[in-house]
Amino acid sequence: MLASTRISKAEEGIPYIHYLPEKTKGTQKDNSETITPLVRYAFDIIKRTQLNLTILKYPSGKSGYNKKIKQLLKAAGIDRKVTEFDEVEGVNKYIPICETSSSKLARSTHVDMMNKVQINMYAAGLHRRGSSAVTHYTMLELADRFKLMNLAFDQEDYRVDKNLEVI
């Protein structure tokens, strides 16, 4: 059912999405895919929509990534209020996140949440800043990233079967 959407299951039953990044696929020598484990919330959206999100088509030009991200959040019902400072009025305004989101906000939020649930190898004093050993020792396996993402997004651990049904 979800096979054409590039959703797969690891041996441990962890669902993940995999794809060739559009931005860098022409410059990669090995065409390595990006693999991201799916927290339950994301998995449920994918199951419900089958990734048939016309919102995501043609993400450049006038309807660029930032516009598409806003539309996607709105379609998913993600409308938590966030603070945005109004320069003209000099006050904070509280607006739905789906009206102010951007690719930068999405990336920084994800990175920030992931950093909060893992040890910073530099801060722990295990390696000097810039050490290649940090990169080597912090390459996390899918199962480890899945645990961290569940923790960061306050999601329960779950597994799927070969048909991508939650077990």
Measured in whole angstroms, the distance separating CA 50 from the mean position of its chain's CA atoms is: 17
pLDDT attached to residue 137: 54
User: In this structure, are residues 12 and 159 in contact, taking their beta carbons and an 8 Å threshold?
Assistant: yes
CA distance 116 to 148: 9
Name residues whose C-beta falls within 8 Å of residue 122's C-beta, 6 or more positions apart in sequence. 128, 129, 134
Whether residue 8 is predicted with pLDDT greater than 80 in this model: the reply is: yes
Average pLDDT for 40-69: 72
pLDDT attached to residue 4: 37
pLDDT tens readout for residues 116-155: 666 555 555 555 666 665 565 556 788 988 888 888 778 8
| Nearest 10 degrees: Cα torsion 104, 112, 158, 12 | 90
Best CA proximity match to 142, nearest among 43, 9, 5: 9
pLDDT band for position 91 (cuts 50, 70, 90): very high
User: In this structure, are residues 49 and 72 in contact, taking their beta carbons and an 8 Å threshold?
Assistant: no
